[in-house]
């Protein structure tokens, strides 16, 4: 819901804040006070087109800010989109939105304190608010939204059927596109396959192994320096343990450590500390012995075979030839080969595979066509129920001779879009949905935007929203001039329906009728201030006596009339009983 709306520098509004509530919020005021600017501000906040002509010269820019609390069934999707765009949602689930328009026409938008494209406000607005008014792009006038709304109205079983259809359609399109691509690019695929086969043949002849280049590099280094390594190892072994080849009588490390151990042990009875040191010398002698044995084994393994060195040179040359063509190292070459085998399978244009794909396409096409027919039948049934309910609502909204019907029409095929035996199908089925209004008996059924005046259109939208209530859609609904040309009992009926709608939605209604405003859970008044050099407007909440005075002004233009106030209080009492089922 929209908790708060602040507007500065827009039309006659200098700086005002609207604190809104759940349920029904009525906005009233004298003609020209600036009620329309509230709706205009809402439009700007949710990505509407900016009109620099409405910006006040001082301060030269209009700013609209709103605090939106995300809750209900749409909260997760809206929050995810906001976070994905790089903005943040507050811990309490609320997010700040703002829109600035300068007198030169430049526009800026912010979501959660981060600068965003204005289109981002529009994306959020599509999910959370629907504005119904004469000058608005009405959500339910768009065919795609009409279809989505009818699908929600049809119920959970219908939505399961729709989801099953979408899965089948996705599978069918994938096969259709794959088959068409294989046939259309058969020559290019064949040429690419030949190149991949050549590469795989070359790699398979060499048969590189993971990590092989590093292992060969280390072995080459040992073979190229074999004599130096042999000399070093031999001298070290002789120094540690001597041997039969020793040319002098110089004692080796093993002999010296043995002498040291025996000397310490001889005096350990005098001082026990020497015993511990003797043990440590013995450990050193053991370690020296181990190293000496390993050096001997190393000398035995050390091979200066020139043939082996030449073979490694040739092997490394073969590996380098592969890395020059396919990757930076041997592991990369192996990865390229794995990818090439996968790609080669995908490039298959054999007659057997094409025939298999064509059979799968035909099978899926039959499945999709059957599901599309079931969707069409379900939509036609739901359309009949929906039209009857809306027509009943219209009778109570001073449109007793008007009827609404929903036409379930065959979908037009898109450009380069496949069809099934002449049936144009899309991600949502084979249907286009069109809401039509029959204004009076004998009148043709026309699309809503062509068959209704501005005031009638708002009432039709009210009737539709009442019927759709509980079937998803935006949680905040705004109605502007919903009561145009209406009075008496019809006005009471409008108020009653708005109050009913407000049980499940946040409703904002700009109204001239006291019968409608009396049903509000919060009543806001837009009032002019002509005390200064420039006329400005502000918004305030009215309650109890002040609210009765405002309703009396709306009834007879006499806010201080005792009779008018008494009538207003009676209206409020009736509305309160109606809202609580009294």
218-230 pLDDT, tens digit per residue, is 777 777 666 677 7
The candidate with the shortest Cα–Cα distance to 344, out of 186, 181, 197, is: 197
The candidate with the shortest Cα–Cα distance to 176, out of 455, 367, 434, 446, is: 367
pLDDT of residue 97: 92
Alpha-carbon distance 134 to 428, whole Å?
Answer: 30
pLDDT of residue 534: 56
What range defines the domain where residue 290 resides?
Answer: 212-341
More confident residue, 481 or 568: 568
State pLDDT tens for residues 250-269. 677 878 888 888 888 888 88
More confident residue, 244 or 307: 307
The arithmetic mean of pLDDT across residues 271-287, rounded, is 86
Tell me the CA distances in angstroms from 302 to 52, 227, 439, one per residue in order.
88, 9, 103
Mean pLDDT of the chain: 83
On whether both 126 and 231 belong to a single domain, the answer is: no
Alpha-carbon distance 362 to 519, whole Å?
Answer: 58
Contact 369, 423 (CB under 8 A): yes
Give the number of domains in the chain: 2
What does DSSP say about strands 476-480 and 129-132: parallel, antiparallel, or unpaired? parallel
Whether pLDDT at 377 is above 60: yes
Omega within 30 of 0 (cis) for the link into 59: yes
Q: Does a structural domain hold residue 257?
A: yes
Tell me the CA distances in angstroms from 19 to 137, 287, 414, 476, 503, one per residue in order.
25, 85, 46, 14, 19
State pLDDT tens for residues 422-458. 888 999 999 999 888 888 888 898 887 776 666 677 7
State pLDDT tens for residues 551-571. 888 887 877 788 888 988 988
Alpha-carbon distance 30 to 545, whole Å?
Answer: 18
pLDDT of residue 63: 92
What does DSSP say about strands 446-447 and 431-438: parallel, antiparallel, or unpaired? antiparallel
pLDDT of residue 382: 93
**Most confident option among 95-99, 303-307, 444-448, 482-486:** 95-99
Q: What is the DSSP string of 27-76?
A: EEE-TTSSHHHHHHHHHHHTTPPP-GGGB-TTTSEEEEEEEEE--STTHH
Domain end, chosen from 323, 341, 359, is at 341
On whether both 217 and 112 belong to a single domain, the answer is: no
Whether pLDDT at 136 is above 70: no
Q: Which CATH number is 485's domain given?
A: 3.40.50.300
pLDDT of residue 522: 92
On whether both 25 and 117 belong to a single domain, the answer is: yes
Confidence of residue 149 (pLDDT cuts 50, 70, 90): confident
On whether both 221 and 128 belong to a single domain, the answer is: no
Confidence of residue 371 (pLDDT cuts 50, 70, 90): very high
The arithmetic mean of pLDDT across residues 512-524, rounded, is 90
Q: Does a structural domain hold residue 124?
A: yes
On whether both 220 and 109 belong to a single domain, the answer is: no
Whether pLDDT at 531 is above 80: no
Q: Does a structural domain hold residue 207?
A: no
On whether both 224 and 333 belong to a single domain, the answer is: yes
On whether both 122 and 3 belong to a single domain, the answer is: yes
Neighbouring residues of 135: CB distance < 8 A, sequence distance ≥ 6: none
Q: Does a structural domain hold residue 103?
A: yes
On whether both 123 and 216 belong to a single domain, the answer is: no
The arithmetic mean of pLDDT across residues 67-71, rounded, is 87
Domain end, chosen from 325, 341, 357, is at 341
More confident residue, 164 or 397: 164
Alpha-carbon distance 41 to 54, whole Å?
Answer: 10
On whether both 128 and 218 belong to a single domain, the answer is: no
More confident residue, 397 or 2: 2
C-alpha dihedral over 214, 216, 219, 224, to 10 degrees? -110
State pLDDT tens for residues 318-331. 888 888 998 888 89
Contact 569, 561 (CB under 8 A): no
Confidence of residue 477 (pLDDT cuts 50, 70, 90): confident
Q: Does a structural domain hold residue 324?
A: yes
pTM: 0.59
Confidence of residue 379 (pLDDT cuts 50, 70, 90): very high
Q: Does a structural domain hold residue 426?
A: no
More confident residue, 336 or 132: 336
pLDDT of residue 408: 92
Q: Does a structural domain hold residue 358?
A: no
User: What percentage of the chain exceeds 90 in pLDDT?
Assistant: 18
Element spanning 255, H or E: helix 253-266
Contact 309, 189 (CB under 8 A): no
The candidate with the shortest Cα–Cα distance to 458, out of 440, 485, 433, is: 485
Q: Which of 35-39, 244-248, 283-287, 378-382 has the lowest mean pLDDT?
A: 244-248
Confidence of residue 145 (pLDDT cuts 50, 70, 90): confident
Domain end, chosen from 296, 317, 341, is at 341
Contact 138, 480 (CB under 8 A): no
Q: How far apart are the first and last CA of the chain?
A: 28
More confident residue, 457 or 420: 420
**Most confident option among 132-136, 445-449, 519-523:** 519-523
pLDDT of residue 394: 87
**Most confident option among 272-276, 310-314, 456-460, 548-552:** 548-552
Neighbouring residues of 299: CB distance < 8 A, sequence distance ≥ 6: 230, 233, 234, 237
Contact 547, 572 (CB under 8 A): yes
Confidence of residue 545 (pLDDT cuts 50, 70, 90): confident
On whether both 15 and 104 belong to a single domain, the answer is: yes
pLDDT of residue 224: 66
Q: Does a structural domain hold residue 381?
A: no
SS (H, E, C) 107-168: EEEEECCEEECHHHHHHHHHHHEEEECCCCCCHHHCHHHHHHHHHHHHCHHHHHHHHHHHHH
């Amino acid at each position: 819901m929209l908790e708060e709306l602040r507007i500065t520098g827009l039309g006659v509004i200098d700086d005002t804040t609207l604190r809104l509530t759940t349920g029904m919020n009525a906005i009233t005021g004298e003609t020209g006070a600036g009620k329309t600017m509230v709706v205009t501000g809402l439009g700007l906040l949710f990505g509407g087109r900016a009109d620099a002509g409405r910006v006040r010269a001082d301060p030269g820019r209009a700013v609209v800010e709103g605090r939106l609390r995300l809750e209900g069934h749409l909260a997760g999707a809206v929050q995810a989109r906001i976070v994905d765009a790089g903005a943040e949602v507050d811990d309490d689930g609320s997010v700040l939105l703002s829109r600035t328009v300068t007198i030169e026409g430049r526009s800026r938008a912010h979501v959660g304190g981060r600068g965003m494209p204005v289109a981002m406000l529009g994306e959020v607005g599509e999910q959370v608010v629907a504005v119904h008014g004469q000058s608005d792009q009405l959500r339910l006038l768009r065919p795609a939204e009409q279809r989505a709304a009818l699908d929600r109205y049809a119920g959970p079983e219908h939505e399961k059927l729709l989801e099953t259809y979408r899965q089948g359609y996705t599978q069918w399109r994938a096969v259709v596109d794959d088959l068409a691509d294989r046939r259309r690019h058969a020559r290019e695929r064949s040429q690419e396959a030949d190149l991949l086969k050549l590469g795989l043949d070359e790699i398979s002849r060499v048969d590189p192994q993971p990590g092989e280049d590093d292992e060969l590099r280390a072995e080459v280094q040992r073979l190229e320096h074999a004599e130096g390594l042999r000399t070093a190892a031999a001298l070290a072994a002789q120094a540690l343990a001597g041997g039969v080849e020793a040319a002098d009588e110089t004692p080796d490390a093993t002999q010296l450590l043995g002498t040291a151990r025996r000397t310490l042990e001889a005096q350990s009875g005098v001082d026990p500390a020497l015993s511990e040191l003797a043990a440590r010398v013995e450990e050193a002698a053991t370690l020296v012995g181990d190293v000496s044995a390993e050096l001997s084994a190393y000398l035995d393994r050390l091979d200066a075979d020139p043939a082996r060195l030449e073979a490694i040179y040739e092997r490394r040359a073969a590996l380098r030839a592969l890395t020059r063509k396919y990757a930076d190292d041997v592991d990369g070459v192996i990865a390229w080969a794995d990818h090439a085998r996968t790609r080669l399978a995908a490039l298959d244009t054999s007659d057997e595979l094409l025939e298999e794909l064509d059979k799968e396409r035909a099978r899926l096409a039959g499945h999709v066509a059957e599901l599309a027919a079931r969707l069409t039948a379900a939509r036609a049934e739901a359309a009949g129920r929906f039209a009857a309910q809306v027509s009943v609502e219209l009778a109570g909204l001073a449109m007793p001779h008007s009827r609404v019907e929903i036409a379930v029409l065959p979908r037009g095929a898109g450009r380069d879009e496949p069809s099934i035996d002449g049936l144009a199908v899309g991600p949502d089925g084979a249907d286009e949905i069109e809401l039509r209004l029959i204004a009076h008996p004998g009148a043709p059924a026309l699309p809503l935007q062509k068959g209704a005046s501005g005031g009638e259109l708002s009432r039709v939208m009210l009737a539709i929203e009442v019927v759709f209530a509980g079937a998803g859609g935006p949680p905040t609904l705004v109605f502007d001039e919903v009561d145009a040309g209406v009075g008496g009992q019809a006005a009471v009926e409008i108020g009653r329906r708005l109050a009913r709608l407000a049980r499940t939605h946040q409703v904002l209604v700009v109204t001239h009728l006291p019968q409608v405003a009396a049903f509000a859970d919060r009543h806001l008044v837009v009032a002019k201030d002509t005390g200064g050099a420039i006329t400005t407007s502000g918004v305030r909440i009215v309650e109890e006596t002040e609210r009765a005075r405002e309703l009396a002004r709306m009834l007879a233009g006499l806010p201080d009339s005792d009779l008018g106030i008494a009538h207003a209080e009676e209206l409020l009492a009736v509305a309160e009983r109606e809202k609580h089922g009294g």
